[in-house]
A and B are shown apart, each in its own frame.
Chain A
Amino acid sequence: MARRVTTQKKIVTTILAWFVGLLIFFPILWTFLTSFKTELQAISIPPVFLNFDWTLENYETIQSQSNYFHFMLNSIYLSLGSTALGLIVAIPAAWAMAFSPTKRTKDVLLWMLSTKMLPAVGVYIPIYLLFVRFGLLDSRLGLIVVLFLINLPIIVWMLYTYFKEIPGEILEAARMDGASLGKEITQVLAPMAVPGIASTILLNVILSWNEAFWSLNLTTSNAAPLTQFIASFSSPQGNFYAKLSAASMLAIAPILIVGWFSQKQLVRGLTFGAVK
Chain B
Amino acid sequence: MGQIHLEKVRKAFGDVVIIPELDLQIEDGEFVVFVGPSGCGKSTLLRLIAGLEDVTSGKITIDGTDATELPPAKRGLAMVFQSYALYPHMSVRKNIAFPLKMANMDKAEIDRRVDYAAKTLNLDAYIDRRPGQLSGGQRQRVAIGRAIVREPKAFLFDEPLSNLDAALRVGMRLEISELHQRLKTTMIYVTHDQVEAMTMADKIVVLRAGNIEQVGSPLELYSSPRNLFVAGFIGSPRMNLINGAEAGKYKADTIGIRPEHLRLSTSEGRWTGTVKVSEHLGSDTFLHVESPVHEEPVTVRADGEFPVHSGDTVYLTPQEDKIHRFDGKGLALR
Q: Which of A10-18, A116-124, A173-181 contacts B (4 or more CB under 8 A)?
A: A173-181
Q: Is A170 an interface residue (CB 8 A)?
A: yes
B104-145: which residues lie under 8 A (CB-CB) from chain A? none
Contact yes or no, A176 B77, CB < 8 A: yes
Instruction: Please name all residues of chain B whose beta carbon is closer than 8 Å to the beta carbon of A173 when the two chains form the complex.
Output: 79, 81, 85-87, 146
Q: Give the secondary structure class of A's interface.
A: helix
Contact yes or no, B103 A191, CB < 8 A: no
Among residues of A, the one whose C-beta sits closest to the C-beta of B146 is: A177
CB within 8 A of A178: which of B50, B73, B85?
B73
Contact yes or no, B88 A176, CB < 8 A: no
What 1/0 mask marks residues of chain A from 165 to 202 whose CB sits below 8 Å from any chain B CB? 00101101111111110010001100110000000000
Instruction: Please name all residues of chain A whose beta carbon is closer than 8 Å to the beta carbon of B83 when the two chains form the complex.
Output: 167, 169
Report if A170-B102 is in contact (Cβ < 8 Å); known contacts: A176-B50, A176-B78, A176-B79.
no
The CA-CA distance from A244 to B16 in the complex, in Å, is: 68
Instruction: Please name all residues of chain B whose beta carbon is closer than 8 Å to the beta carbon of A172 when the two chains form the complex.
Output: 50, 52, 72, 79, 81, 85
The CA-CA distance from A177 to B77 in the complex, in Å, is: 9
The CA-CA distance from A179 to B71 in the complex, in Å, is: 11
Instruction: Please name all residues of chain B whose beta carbon is closer than 8 Å to the beta carbon of A177 when the two chains form the complex.
Output: 73, 98-99, 102, 146, 150
Interface centre among B72, B78, B103 (most CB of A within 10 A): B72
Interface centre among B78, B79, B103 (most CB of A within 10 A): B79
Among residues of A, the one whose C-beta sits closest to the C-beta of B71 is: A175
The CA-CA distance from A216 to B56 in the complex, in Å, is: 58
CB within 8 A of A169: which of B73, B85, B89, B146?
B85
Instruction: Please name all residues of chain B whose beta carbon is closer than 8 Å to the beta carbon of A191 when the two chains form the complex.
Output: 87, 89
Quote the shortest CB–CB distance from B327 to chain A (angstroms).
43
What 1/0 mask marks residues of chain B from 79 to 97 whose CB sits below 8 Å from any chain A CB? 1011101111100000000
Instruction: Please name all residues of chain A whose beta carbon is closer than 8 Å to the beta carbon of B71 when the two chains form the complex.
Output: 175
Instruction: Please name all residues of chain B whose beta carbon is closer than 8 Å to the beta carbon of A192 when the two chains form the complex.
Output: 87-89
Report if A175-B73 is in contact (Cβ < 8 Å); known contacts: A167-B83, A169-B82.
yes
Instruction: Please name all residues of chain B whose beta carbon is closer than 8 Å to the beta carbon of A188 when the two chains form the complex.
Output: 87
What 1/0 mask marks residues of chain B from 134 to 176 whose CB sits below 8 Å from any chain A CB? 0000000000001000100000000000000000000000000
Report if A175-B52 is in contact (Cβ < 8 Å); known contacts: A169-B81, A170-B87, A191-B89.
yes
Contact yes or no, B89 A176, CB < 8 A: no
The CA-CA distance from A192 to B90 in the complex, in Å, is: 10
Quote the shortest CB–CB distance from B35 to chain A (angstroms).
21
The CA-CA distance from A173 to B150 in the complex, in Å, is: 13
Instruction: Please name all residues of chain B whose beta carbon is closer than 8 Å to the beta carbon of A175 when the two chains form the complex.
Output: 52, 71-73
Contact yes or no, A178 B103, CB < 8 A: yes
Instruction: Please name all residues of chain A whose beta carbon is closer than 8 Å to the beta carbon of B150 when the two chains form the complex.
Output: 177
Instruction: Please name all residues of chain B whose beta carbon is closer than 8 Å to the beta carbon of A176 when the two chains form the complex.
Output: 50, 52, 72-73, 77-79, 99
Quote the shortest CB–CB distance from A29 to chain B (angstroms).
39
The CA-CA distance from A188 to B90 in the complex, in Å, is: 9
Instruction: Please name all residues of chain A whose beta carbon is closer than 8 Å to the beta carbon of B98 when the two chains form the complex.
Output: 174, 177, 179, 187
Among residues of A, the one whose C-beta sits closest to the C-beta of B143 is: A173
Quote the shortest CB–CB distance from B227 to chain A (angstroms).
34
The 19 sampled A-B contact pairs (Cβ below 8 Å) are A167-B83, A169-B81, A172-B50, A172-B72, A172-B85, A173-B79, A173-B87, A175-B71, A176-B52, A176-B72, A176-B78, A176-B79, A176-B99, A177-B99, A177-B102, A178-B103, A191-B89, A192-B87, A192-B88
Instruction: List 20 additional contacts besides A173-B86, A177-B99; criterion CB under 8 Å.
Output: A167-B83, A169-B83, A170-B85, A172-B50, A172-B79, A173-B79, A173-B85, A173-B146, A175-B71, A175-B72, A175-B73, A176-B52, A177-B73, A177-B146, A179-B98, A180-B102, A188-B87, A191-B87, A192-B88, A192-B89
In the A-B complex, list the 10 residue pairs whose CB atoms are closest, starting with the nearest.
A178-B73, A177-B99, A173-B85, A178-B102, A169-B85, A191-B89, A169-B81, A170-B85, A176-B79, A175-B72
